[in-house]
Amino acid sequence: MAKVIPRKPLTLAERTYLPQVLGGLKTTFKRMVSPNVTLEYPEERPVIPEGYRGVPTLVKDPDGREKCVSCQLCEFVCPPKAIKIFPGEIPEDAPTAHVEKAPRDFQIDMLRCIYCGLCQEVCPEEAIFLQEIFSVTGYTRSELVYNKQKLYELGGTLPDRHFKWEKKRQAAERGHQH
């Protein structure tokens, strides 16, 4: 059995849609007299809130050395699989020879990246950081696949809080002296 619910008839004002039209006009007039909230981007930049997660980039240590050791943890933990690391060997005579390996190439597909920050959290060398960059543009899809050079260009140099590599280098030098 279907239950019939009686509907009350519309009033004259409701049939003419006057309350809805007046409500819309009220909103329009309120917006006309309120201050402008539009930013003239790129001349005006929005205030970036605390804890903003922007573009992931690679950073170097204060001496300008690569911090990434191609452990590939960021590649494994990335949910959309936006990171690809191609490990490479370090020559024996290089100043960073005490490090096992370094990336031959490192790519992040910004079209796939979801800016979750897991890559930054899992990195044991603090080589990848999410910078406060929010404007990622390109004319083609291939322009938005950032290679190692582009990632270092965006990331720059960040202070090293642990000086882990310096301690490893000093230990390696002490080992060669004995």
The domain that holds 134 is classified in CATH as 3.30.70.3270
Could you tell me the two tokens for 149? 């050079």
Q: Is residue 107 part of a domain?
A: yes
Provide the residue range defining the domain that includes 116.
56-177
> What was the pLDDT predicted at 176?
62
Q: Hey, which residues does 83 pair with through a beta bridge? A: 108
Q: Is residue 121 part of a domain?
A: yes
Tokens 């009220």 found at = 26
Q: Is residue 109 part of a domain?
A: yes
Tokens 């910004």 found at = 110
Could you tell me the two tokens for 109? 């597909």
Mean pLDDT of 122-151: 92
Q: Could you tell me if 123 and 74 are in contact, meaning their C-beta atoms sit under 8 angstroms apart?
A: yes
Neighbours of 84 (CB within 10 A): 16
Confidence of residue 164 (pLDDT cuts 50, 70, 90): low
Number of compact structural domains in the chain? 1
Q: Is residue 110 part of a domain?
A: yes
Confidence of residue 130 (pLDDT cuts 50, 70, 90): very high
Mean pLDDT of 38-48: 86
Give the pairing type, strands 128-130 and 101-109: unpaired
Q: Is residue 2 part of a domain?
A: no
Asked if pLDDT for residue 157 goes beyond 90, the answer is: no
Q: Is residue 8 part of a domain?
A: no
- Give the C-alpha separation, 56 to 81, whole Å: 13
Counting beta carbons within 10 angstroms of the beta carbon of residue 176, is it exposed (0 to 12), middle (13 to 18) or buried (19 or more)? exposed
> What was the pLDDT predicted at 33?
92
Q: Which residues contact 19 (CB under 8 A, 6 or more apart)?
A: 13
Look at 115 and 62; give whichever has higher pLDDT: 115
Tokens 């202070």 found at = 159
Encode pLDDT of 62-73 as tens digits.
878 888 989 999
Q: Is residue 117 part of a domain?
A: yes
Q: Is residue 19 part of a domain?
A: no
